[in-house]
Each structure stands twice: as structure tokens, then as C-alpha cells.
Structure 1
Amino acid sequence: MSLGRTQHGTPLEVVRDDKAVYAAGAVVWRLVDSKLRILLIHRTKYRDVTLPKGKVDPGEMLAETAVREVHEETGIRVSLGVPVGVSRYFMRPKRQKVVHYWAAEATEEAIRRSTFVPNGEIAAIEWVSLKKARAQLSYPVDTEILDSFETLVDDGVLHTFPVIALRHAKAMSRSEWDGPDAGRPLTERGKRQAKAIVGPLRAFGVRKIVTSDAVRCVQTVAPLARALERVPVETPRLSQDAWEDGYSDVRAVIGKRVRSRKPAVICSHGPVLPDVLTEIALATGTLRGSYVSSASALEVAAFSVVHLSTTNPGSGIIAIETHVPTV
């Protein structure tokens, strides 16, 4: 499970209600001859038309639920883009269902690799225009999600990439460690957290890993690096020692990541993270507000996904969402 804060115009904080049923899905989109098309699913049992979504599995975080459910229902593997809203409605007997949605582009390669065949759950999938999607969707809550999605379209910020600020997982305390601070390793809980965040980080299409060279940070990204078959870039520029001694260089790291316009995760330390978010704001011409400060105040193993425009990163931060593992 994850909690999130998103920002598109105004901040939104999502608070978990243990009595609610949580689910996640996506507004899956593609361009066909430069025309926008949305993916709808026709469900067999309910004889309705809706957006792909499904309930969170035990131990799962919302972002990985969304990607998994899209693939299970449509056969298409996607990476998540900007969050587009949360729908809430009541199930019988008076139990609330809370569904988080993201925009998600279906690449031509992903569509070619789709394994979808009509089945007992999904009778058909269909690519339609926004206008036809509104006419066909069975539920008003889905139409409201489509309204938020269309705002992104109208604002020209549908094509985005994430820069993810990650705080290292739980490490041994300084009082329990005799060596240099940079050598403190993860605890057993920290190792579990490092494994738990692999799925949700992959859900955002992360390909590049940049980390402080402190052991606790390197160990935090190790499971992700193995899953992606990537070698992390270790740098003292993001370390707490460098930050405390005044020779850190967060600006250089962030500038390179924004210029690359590719999905990346940046792992660092609690005291350094405010600088990470500040430099993202400065690099994109974003007015710094309370939501930027909130996004940097992370618990161990938590991360904030900062969505930027692929075509014009200097247009400002499109959205920020924060995810917290429950391990």
C-alpha cells in the first residue's frame, strides 16, 4: 500500500482508511495518426464499460497494483505517468472503495506484445476517442477521472518523465555502529524495505539509478539494480558527509537528470533531500511551495515521484506524489 500527495494546481493529500478497499488503475492512452485514443475494457460479468483497474494485493503498493492490473486486464505492459485522480464510491454493505488512477502511455511495442484474448473477466478491449469514451463509460466516477486526464491533454503535459527522490531504507543507528557513518548498513527491516520498493519504482519506468556512495544508500538500491540489470551510479555528491562538510553538489546531479529527460531514481539522505527537491524546482522554473517541502520530508524507504514535461522540462513540475512502504 502507499500513500500519496499529488500536485497539479493544488496539493492533494490522501489519507488511508483501514476500513476502505483500495484499488488502482490507469487511463491508458496512445496516439494513432496523431490522434489521441483511450483504452476501455468491456467486462464480461458486469456487462459494463470501464477503465482498467483492480484491487491491491497483500503487501503491494498502489503504483505496482495499477501496472499489474492493466497488464492482467489488457495484456499491455505500461509505465505510469502523471496521477489523474482518485475515485471513491460505496460497495455493499456500505464499504467505501478508493481507486487511484494514473495516465499511462501504451507504446507500439507494448501493444504488439499484448497477450490479451477475450476471457471470463474481460470480453473485449477498445481504443476510442475521448468523446466516445465519455459516451461509453458506464460510471460517472470514471468520467470524472477522464476529466482530470483531459486537463493534462489541454495543458500539453501528457508526455512526461519522472525524477524520483528516494530516502534510503532503515539503517543501523549511529549508537550501534562503531565505524564511519558512511559505512552504516541496512537493518533486516531495511533490507525488506529495499525489496518492497522495487515493484513500485519499476512501475514508473525507472531505468537510471543514481545514489549516494554511503553503504545504506547503495544497499537500498541494490535490489532495484538487480531487477533492472543496471549498474547504479554511486557519487559522493549526494552523500550526507559531503552535505555536512559543505561540498555536496546536488545541483550538478539534478541538472544532468533533468536534461536527460529519462526516468531516474536518486537515492540520498534525509538532510539532503530538501536540496534535491529544491534543485528540481529550480531546474524547471517551478515556484517553490509547501508541496515541495512536503515531498522532501520522507520516511525511510519512502520516495517522491516528480513528474516533468518531456517536451519542455522548463515548464515546471507537473505533479508530485509520495509513496510510503508499509514494511
Structure 2
Amino acid sequence: MSTDTIRAAGAVLWRDDDGTVEVAVVHRPRYDDWSLPKGKLDAGETVPAAAVREVYEETGYHAALGRHVSQVHYKAFGRPKVVDYFSARALWGSFVPNSESDELRWLPVPEAAALVTRSLDRDVLGAFALVPADLKTVLLVRHAKAGKRENWPGDDDLRPLSSAGWRQAEAVRSLLPLFAPGRVYAAPRVRCVQTVQGVADDLRTSVRREVRLSEEGYWPDPDAGLVRFLEITGDEGVPVVSSQGGVIPDLVTKLADIGGLRVGDVPCKKGSVWVLAFTRPREGWSTSDSVVGWPRLVSAHYLPSALPAPRP
């Protein structure tokens, strides 16, 4: 992406009102238009962080991010502009008129689409409405950098993060709370655990070791690893799962195949995060059932780094 590109982020902020999904649309007095909350990234800010901040500044609501809904491209002031939109569940807050937005309306999606001024916002709402709002989010993390294997004299399972890896781990610690995680899992290698230990510490929980999601535990029986991952997905709350580069591409590809989702190549840089969104499993589901009742992957969004992008 060109260094001349303006990066921005926003969200479809939603709530459940007695079984009806409503989304927030704001009126911006500066432009006299109705819009989804969005805005430009601040210096040193990631795209997800900007989405959460802009939602709060324009609506007054704290929110938990979910799936990536769409990316919009257009020209602004003669420069290319890219806006990433996430689904965002309203947690708490209240709207107070301000200089950026002087009115907020909670509306069902069709009414919100009729109200927004820009056709691009209607396209985003259309993409949001393609799948249920209340999906299960899973944050699949590849462990951060741990130096070269040939330079570590001990047991490879004990190879720790490098100084660059610790910087990545701190970035993961800052990024993942934007999605409101509640559980933390890791392949039982030191570098996998260290990558998400800060997230677990902030949640005041422990990192649960998952042998099936390590390379040596996954490949003897990939189907068992897939089943274990789906069991983690089906439990309550948003899980964080830290695994390895020899597992993640195959796992995401298998999940996409089951869900009928096209993902193509599955990149997996160290310190990267896959934001996976699944339909909620059928009540009382079990992995012994037909795959029809399993959580089904409907969105897979790749964040190549938890670190903010360098500014031009």
C-alpha cells in the first residue's frame, strides 16, 4: 500500500434489542451526513485500535470487535483512502452530542441502510448483514520471534522469545483486548506460551496448554487437532490460541473447507493474528455429531502484525 494512502478504520456498531439487531448511525454536522462511525488512524495506532477509538469518540460506546466486515477504497483530497470496517458489539456507554457527531440513531439494518448518505456505507451494511451479527470469534496467534533454532543449544521446546519477539508479544497484549478475549490457550512450547502470557496475566487467568495444537501433537492426527480446536471454539467466551507456523495454515484451510469459505493461501508470519469468526454451534452440539452442527467458519481476517504500521 502506498505511503501516500490515507488509512482509516470504523465499525458497524451493533446491539441486540429483544432479538432484533440494531446498528448505530451517526449524524456528522461538519458534513451534514449520516454515517457509520469511522476516522483516520493516529500515529502509532493499529487499524483495530483506531476502529474502537473512533466508535467511542463518535458514539460514546465501548465496544468489542468481531469479524472484519469489509475494506473500502476511494479518493479523498486527491489521495487514495482505505477504510477497514469491523463488526463491533456495543458493551456499555451512552451517546452525548459532540463536535464530530450531534445525533445517533439505533436502527435495524434495512432502515440504517436507507438513512446513510454514502453508497459505500450501504455496501458495508450489506456485507454486515450477510451473516448473523452474533458470531463466535477466535483469535489464532502465531508465536512471536524466538531467534534461529540452530543458535539455541538446548531443547527446542524451551527456546524463548528474542528481544524482537518480546516487542511483538507486547503488541499482541495491546491488540487482543480490543476483541474482548476471555480464555487463553497455547501449544506447550515456551515461545508459544510467552507470546500470550501477557494477555492471560491481564485477564487474571492461566495459559492452558494444548498439545494437539503444537506441530508434534497436530500432525500425527490432524483431524484430532481440528476437533480440539472446534471444541475450544464452541465454549463460551472469546478464546486466544497461540500455535505454530507448521499448524496454522493447515488448520485454517481445513476450517475454511468445512465452512465453504474461500481463503486461498494462508500466510502465517511470526506474531501475526488470524481473526476467525464462526456461526454459533447448535445447542448441545458434539464433535461426534455431523459437521452440520459444528461451528462453521464464515470469516477469516489476517493481521500480519500486531504492531502499528510505520508512518510515512
Structure 1 length-normalised TM: 0.82
1:165 aligned partner: 140
Q: Distance in 2 between matches of 1:259 and 1:35?
A: 23
Q: Does 1:123 align with 2:102?
A: yes
1:321 aligned partner: 301
Structure 2 length-normalised TM: 0.85
Q: Per-residue displacement from partner, 1:50-107 (whole Å, max 9, x unpaired)?
A: 1011212233221222122212221212122232212222111x1111111122222x
Number of residues of Structure 1 aligned to a counterpart in Structure 2: 296
Deviation at 1:187, TM superposition (A): 1.0
Residues 256/150 of structure 1: CA separation in 2 closer, same or farther (3 Å cut)? closer
Q: How does 1:58-97 map to 2 (within 5 A)?
A: 58-92=43-77, 94-97=78-81
| Residues 249 and 268, structure 2, Cα contact 8 Å, conserved in 1 | no
| Residues 72 and 120, structure 2, Cα contact 8 Å, conserved in 1 | yes
Q: Distance in 2 between matches of 1:19 and 1:121?
A: 25
1:9 aligned partner: none
1:30 aligned partner: 15
| Residues 61 and 325, structure 1, Cα contact 8 Å, conserved in 2 | no
Q: Secondary structure of 2:27's partner?
A: strand
Q: Secondary structure of 2:177's partner?
A: helix
| Residues 259 and 297, structure 2, Cα contact 8 Å, conserved in 1 | yes
Q: Per-residue displacement from partner, 1:17-36 (whole Å, max 9, x unpaired)?
A: 32211111111122323333
Q: Does 1:195 align with 2:170?
A: yes
Residues 250/127 of structure 1: CA separation in 2 closer, same or farther (3 Å cut)? same
Q: Secondary structure of 1:207's partner?
A: strand
2:239 aligned partner: 264
After the TM superposition, which of the residue ranges 59-68 and 317-326 deviates more from structure 2?
A: 59-68
Residues 48/267 of structure 1: CA separation in 2 closer, same or farther (3 Å cut)? same
Aligned to 1:151, which of 125, 130, 134? Answer: 130
Q: Secondary structure of 1:186's partner?
A: coil
2:259 aligned partner: 286
Q: Distance in 1 between matches of 2:135 and 2:156?
A: 37
After the TM superposition, which of the residue ranges 206-215 and 44-53 deviates more from structure 2?
A: 44-53
1:6 aligned partner: none
Q: Secondary structure of 1:120's partner?
A: coil
- Identity value in percent: 31
Q: Does 1:308 align with 2:293?
A: no
Q: Distance in 1 between matches of 2:253 and 2:33?
A: 45
Aligned to 1:250, which of 219, 222, 225? Answer: 225
2:121 aligned partner: 142
Deviation at 1:184, TM superposition (A): 0.8
Residues 276/311 of structure 1: CA separation in 2 closer, same or farther (3 Å cut)? closer
Give the root-mean-square deviation of aligned CA atoms. 2.4
| Residues 165 and 277, structure 1, Cα contact 8 Å, conserved in 2 | no
Q: Secondary structure of 2:259's partner?
A: coil
Q: Secondary structure of 1:133's partner?
A: helix
Deviation at 1:48, TM superposition (A): 1.9
Q: Secondary structure of 2:66's partner?
A: coil
Residues 294/230 of structure 1: CA separation in 2 closer, same or farther (3 Å cut)? farther
Which amino acid letter does the alignment assign opposite residue 204 of structure 1?
F
Deviation at 1:206, TM superposition (A): 1.7
1:178 aligned partner: 153
Residues 228/73 of structure 1: CA separation in 2 closer, same or farther (3 Å cut)? farther
Q: How does 1:40-55 map to 2 (within 5 A)?
A: 40-55=25-40
Q: Distance in 1 between matches of 2:59 and 2:139?
A: 27
Deviation at 1:149, TM superposition (A): 1.9
Which amino acid letter does the alignment assign opposite residue 229 of structure 1?
R
1:7 aligned partner: none
1:12 aligned partner: none
2:184 aligned partner: 209
Residues 77/326 of structure 1: CA separation in 2 closer, same or farther (3 Å cut)? closer
Q: Distance in 2 between matches of 1:236 and 1:35?
A: 41
Q: Distance in 2 between matches of 1:54 and 1:91?
A: 12
| Residues 261 and 297, structure 2, Cα contact 8 Å, conserved in 1 | no
Q: Distance in 2 between matches of 1:269 and 1:69?
A: 33
| Residues 233 and 295, structure 2, Cα contact 8 Å, conserved in 1 | no
After the TM superposition, which of the residue ranges 124-133 and 138-147 deviates more from structure 2?
A: 124-133
Deviation at 1:268, TM superposition (A): 1.1
2:89 aligned partner: 105
Q: Distance in 2 between matches of 1:273 and 1:223?
A: 21
Deviation at 1:168, TM superposition (A): 0.3
Deviation at 1:278, TM superposition (A): 4.9
Alignment gaps of 5+ in structure 1: 1-15
Q: Distance in 2 between matches of 1:104 and 1:221?
A: 23
